[in-house]
Structure 1
Amino acid sequence: MPTAREGLLDAAFTALRSRPWAGVRMVDVAASAGVSRQTLYNEFGSKEGLAQALVRREVDGYLAGVERTLSGAGRSGADAAGRLLALVAWTLRAARGNPLVRAALTGCWGEQLPAPARHPPARGGPPGVRRTERDAPVETPAELVDKVRDGVLRALAEQLPGAPAERRRVGEAVTRLTLSYVVAPAGGEDVERMIRGLLPVSGPSRTAAGR
């Protein structure tokens, strides 16, 4: 059963699907989650705090998916290229299905979305409002590139070819190529060809885009 915090974040995300963030009212979020408005303010302190926590949750969900994908869970024996193609597929799915993830990856927040602060939000409301690691500032697109690249290097250290500097170059290139497809999608065969062109490894053919 979700906690009050998760229920409120779910309600805020659902509201954002149908209206711009400026039109999302705290009282409506609380009512949709089945809690009092006081509970909402106890959790987040302000609408700014709610926005920060919502974007933080969605970005953390994307990064957790990156880790799962690169771990090769459910794909025993997957080669480096296969795992990287799966990373492309996950990133494209996440960006297409979640406007907050897409905005975090591209830096294009627009007027419809709650752009995150680059510092912990000021806490309004009563004393004792909860502050947790989940309120941490959201990464810039460049910082997200670094996190995904580092995840690639950790997960595929034994499979990526070359010296450490070369592996870092490959990890950086794959990550930036992946994010470029968020901005300008391409056909699955093009994605696969370019990823495999970066890695002198062989493996089963996969098509990433559209999955």
Structure 2
Amino acid sequence: MPLARESLLEAAGAALAARPWPVVRMVEVAAAAGVSRQTLYNEFGGKDGLGRALVRRETDRYLAGVDRVLGAEEGARERMAELADWTVRTARAHPLLRALLTGCWDARLPLLVPGPRPEELTRAVRDRAAAALAPGEWSPYRCELVVRLALSYVVAPAGDSPMGDLLGLGLSASNRTAGDR
């Protein structure tokens, strides 16, 4: 029942956005998806299975977005800057993705379930970036630097500083120097 499964994941994601995972009730998720509670249990086996499926879906969505950004027609520098900016914006908007990328789980989220570790996601993005760019454009090491810089913004936001200015390898006129702070 792929349609029921997707409806259940959407309903569970909406419930997670509205309240902490420990208080999300399976009966409410099933009702919001328009299916029976038994269908939910048949699909996921229980709340832990539903949590694992949410983690997998969030991982898959993130990696699909990475591929989309890297598939743009722009140059390597622009694509990598957009990848970093998009990662920061997406992680800020999606707490489950933020936890996956940083390893920082809180009580609002499903318990840490088997899934990719942050370093595995970092390697996956690095490898996808290196493969998407023309040979010799950027080394895997430089791709990983950009990914890790983006993750540092996820962990420790820098206020209103635009990510693109920083990744353009030049500072914009609006950025302050350390002496100005």
Coarse TM-score class (shorter-chain normalised):
0.7 to 0.9
Match of 2:175 in 1: none
Tell me how many residue pairs correspond in the alignment. 168
Q: Does the 8 Å CA contact 2:82/2:164 hold for their aligned counterparts?
A: no
- CA deviation after TM superposition for structure 1 residue 168, in Å: 2.0
Residue pair 2:21, 2:108 contacting (<8 A) in 1 also: yes
Rounded to whole Å, the distance in 1 between the matches of 2:120 and 2:137 is 22
Matched AA of 1:16: L
Matches within 5 A, 1:162-201: 167-186=139-158, 187-188=161-162, 191-197=163-169
Larger relative CO (CA 8 A, sep 6+): 1 or 2? 1
Residues 9-48 of structure 1: per-residue CA shift (max 9 Å, x gap): 1111111112111101111111111111110011000110
RMSD: 1.8
- Which whole-Å deviations, capped at 9, do the CAs of 1:81-117 have from their partners, x for residues lacking one? 1001110121012111111111111111111100342
Gaps of 5+ in 2: 173-181
1:193 offset after TM fit, Å? 4.5
Matched letter for residue 137 of structure 2: L
Once residues 146 and 118 of structure 2 are traced to their aligned partners in structure 1, the CA distance between those partners, rounded to angstroms, is 15
1:145 matched to 2:122? The reply is yes
In structure 1, C-alpha distance between the alignment counterparts of 2:141 and 2:85, rounded to whole Å: 21
User: Structure 1 counterpart of 2:150, which letter?
Assistant: T
Paired-residue identity, %: 54
SS in 1 for 2:113: coil
Return the structure number with greater helix share: 2
Q: Structure 1: which 5+ runs fail to align?
A: 119-137, 162-166, 199-204, 206-211
TM-score normalized by structure 2? Answer: 0.86
Cα deviation, residue 185, structure 1: 2.3
Equivalent runs, 1:61-210 vs 2, <5 Å: 61-72=61-72, 76=73, 78-118=74-114, 138-158=115-135, 160-161=137-138, 167-186=139-158, 187-188=161-162, 191-197=163-169
TM-score (norm 1): 0.75
